[in-house]
């Protein structure tokens, strides 16, 4: 009998002949997060990876927390690998899942028979194991709809597996399976969630932050660094580019129409972000915009902003309500950091009456008042670069 971690694939199971590539990326992520526990041996079969931790005394709650942040896993469980016969499974019940059953009032047995040559079908396996459990724990009652404990028996090609309960995985696609994107991160609630959403789809997410000292404080910068470090827990590392944006903002304030200043500011950000993306072989930009949430996120304003770049801009939150975004921010532990009272550059020189339906023609005319090409090249050339790792992997 050996304790195992059963990793159930999500969309990877549908990848056909390309599946080995996606499996390799998933296993690379698992090796990273499980390195503190001594690593693991593994084999894959039937859309499942079976891991054996090398440290048999590893803290399973810590393992659970680590594995739950690996994209590409639909669910996972701690199971016991046993000889493939019903008597071996029965004999293991007391030793392996006895604690869970003693603490419960109701239970249910599920059986999954991948090996169709096994002499008992799934209903017979449930009957055998369910009856055995009731003989050991007569206080229990069977409940097929809302049990305290779900006992699962899997009969697979090589072994039988016994477990009590499953854990929800992060879902999505393995990190690194869908290229690289550059997240415009402000320090607010939305942009870290947008980065997480694209990382969940398998994208490596780097970030760029526009910093306007002394109008924004060093604490505002530290806040963004903390947010990027939290994102790195999902992808292994987050590369952060910090752009000194003060001079550009002052020129926009002094020489551009106030009502157009926010759109002009965002267009300048897009041009600088595009330079950073192209210099680092990054294929797209990512923003946390939600349609209509603020004046700069109307359809007309976003159209003007997008016209400033020639690479795609992904907006995973475009149709989300704020309550939806906050719920995800809480889930990924960025919300409390995002609401710290350190303002970002988007709140500097905020216009009193921003224009919600700007046209590209009037914006282009207004931009002639400032030598944006020179200022943006200067900001790009002096960009500060940081490679951030999860706290657990920082020495």
Q: Mean pLDDT across the stretch 51-79? A: 93
pLDDT tens, residue by residue, 275-308: 999 999 999 999 999 999 888 889 999 999 999 9
Same domain, 351 and 208: yes
pLDDT tens, residue by residue, 68-87: 999 999 999 999 999 999 99
The two tokens of residue 338 are: 């995002």
pLDDT at 66: 94
Q: Give the CA count within 13 Å in the CB-facing half-sphere of 24.
A: 5
pLDDT at 392: 65
Same domain, 154 and 246: no
pLDDT at 210: 95
Alpha carbons 9 and 359: distance in angstroms, whole number: 47
Partners of 328 in the β-ladder: none
Q: Which residue has the higher pLDDT, 347 or 127?
A: 127
Contact status, residue 380 vs residue 275, Cβ threshold 8 Å: yes
Same domain, 164 and 185: no
Same domain, 124 and 208: no
Bridge-based pairing state of the strands 284-286 and 180-184? parallel
pLDDT at 221: 92
- Reported as a pLDDT band with limits 50, 70 and 90, residue 393 is low
* Closest CA relative to residue 162, chosen from 50, 80, 52: 80
Cis peptide bond upstream of 188, omega within 30: no
Go through 67-104 and write b for each residue having 16 or more CB atoms within 10 A of its CB, e for each that does not: bebbbbbbebbbbbbbebebeebbebbeebbeebbeeb
Q: Give the CA count within 13 Å in the CB-facing half-sphere of 244.
A: 11
- Per the structure, the complete domain to which residue 208 belongs is given by 180-393
Quickly list H helices, the chain: 19-34, 60-67, 86-103, 122-136, 190-200, 218-235, 246-255, 261-279, 299-306, 322-331, 335-338, 360-367, 372-381
Same domain, 96 and 60: yes
Whether residue 21 is predicted with pLDDT greater than 50 in this model: the reply is yes
The two tokens of residue 344 are: 């970002």
Lowest mean per-residue pLDDT among 15-19, 136-140, 277-281, 309-313: 15-19
Which residue's entry shows tokens 């399973």?
60
Same domain, 190 and 264: yes
121, 139, 171 — which closes off a domain? 171
Same domain, 28 and 166: yes
Same domain, 242 and 280: yes
Same domain, 82 and 188: no
pLDDT tens, residue by residue, 211-231: 998 888 899 999 999 999 999
pLDDT at 309: 97
Whether residue 121 is predicted with pLDDT greater than 90 in this model: the reply is yes
119, 140, 171 — which closes off a domain? 171
Same domain, 10 and 116: yes
What is the rounded radius of gyration, in angstroms, for the C-alpha atoms of the chain?
A: 26
Which residue's entry shows tokens 């590369």?
239
Q: Mean pLDDT across the stretch 246-275? A: 95
Q: Mean pLDDT across the stretch 11-36? A: 90
Alpha carbons 173 and 155: distance in angstroms, whole number: 27
Q: Mean pLDDT across the stretch 231-251? A: 95
Same domain, 109 and 252: no
Same domain, 371 and 248: yes
pLDDT at 352: 83
Contact status, residue 318 vs residue 288, Cβ threshold 8 Å: no
Q: Supply the CATH number for residue 248's domain.
A: 3.40.50.620
Q: Supply the CATH number for residue 77's domain.
A: 3.30.2130.30
Whether residue 395 is predicted with pLDDT greater than 50 in this model: the reply is no
Alpha carbons 328 and 347: distance in angstroms, whole number: 23
154, 171, 188 — which closes off a domain? 171
Q: Mean pLDDT across the stretch 261-280? A: 96
Contacts of 341 (CB under 8 A, 6+ apart): none
* Closest CA relative to residue 38, chosen from 27, 52, 21, 17: 52
Rounded to 10 degrees, the C-alpha dihedral 296/299/304/305 comes to 50
Q: Mean pLDDT across the stretch 101-115? A: 95
The mean of the pLDDT values for the chain is: 93
Contact status, residue 360 vs residue 267, Cβ threshold 8 Å: no
Using DSSP's 3-state secondary structure scheme, residue 165 falls into coil
Rounded to 10 degrees, the C-alpha dihedral 23/28/32/36 comes to 70
* Domains in the chain, number: 2
Q: Mean pLDDT across the stretch 308-321? A: 97
């Amino acid at each position: 009998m050996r304790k195992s971690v059963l990793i159930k694939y999500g969309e990877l199971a549908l990848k056909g002949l390309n599946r080995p590539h996606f499996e390799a990326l998933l296993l690379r992520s698992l090796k990273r997060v499980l390195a503190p526990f001594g690593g693991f041996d593994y084999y894959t079969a039937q859309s499942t990876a079976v891991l054996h931790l090398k440290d048999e005394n590893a803290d399973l709650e810590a393992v659970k927390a680590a594995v739950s942040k690996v994209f590409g896993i639909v669910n996972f469980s701690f199971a016991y690998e046993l000889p493939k016969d019903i008597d071996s499974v029965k004999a293991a019940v007391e030793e392996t899942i006895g604690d869970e059953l003693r603490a419960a009032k109701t239970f249910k047995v599920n059986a999954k028979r991948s090996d169709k040559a096994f002499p008992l079908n799934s209903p017979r396996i449930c009957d055998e194991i369910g009856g055995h459990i009731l003989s050991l724990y007569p206080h229990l009652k069977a409940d097929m709809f809302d049990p305290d404990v779900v006992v699962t028996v899997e009969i697979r090609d090589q072994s039988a597996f016994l477990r009590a309960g499953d854990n929800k995985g992060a879902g999505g696609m393995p990190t690194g399976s869908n290229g690289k994107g550059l997240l415009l991160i402000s320090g607010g609630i939305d942009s870290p969630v947008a980065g997480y959403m694209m990382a969940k789809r398998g994208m490596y997410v780097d970030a760029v932050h526009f910093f306007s000292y002394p109008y924004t404080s060093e604490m505002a910068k530290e806040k963004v660094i903390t947010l990027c470090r939290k994102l790195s827990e999902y992808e292994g590392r987050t590369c952060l580019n910090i752009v000194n944006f003060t001079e550009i903002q002052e020129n926009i304030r002094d020489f551009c129409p106030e009502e157009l200043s926010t759109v002009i500011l965002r267009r300048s950000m897009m041009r600088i972000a595009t330079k950073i993306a192209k210099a680092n072989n990054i294929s797209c930009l990512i923003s946390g915009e939600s349609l209509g949430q603020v004046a700069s996120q109307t359809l007309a304003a976003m159209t003007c902003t997008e016209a400033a770049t020639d690479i795609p801009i992904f907006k995973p939150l475009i149709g989300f309500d704020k309550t939806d975004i906050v719920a995800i921010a809480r889930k990924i532990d960025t919300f409390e950091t995002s609401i710290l009272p350190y303002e970002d550059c988007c709140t500097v020189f905020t216009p009193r009456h921003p224009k919600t339906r700007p046209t590209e023609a009037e914006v282009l005319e207004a931009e002639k008042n400032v030598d944006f090409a020179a200022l943006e090249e200067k900001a790009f050339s002096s960009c500060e670069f940081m490679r951030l790792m999860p706290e657990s992997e920082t020495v």
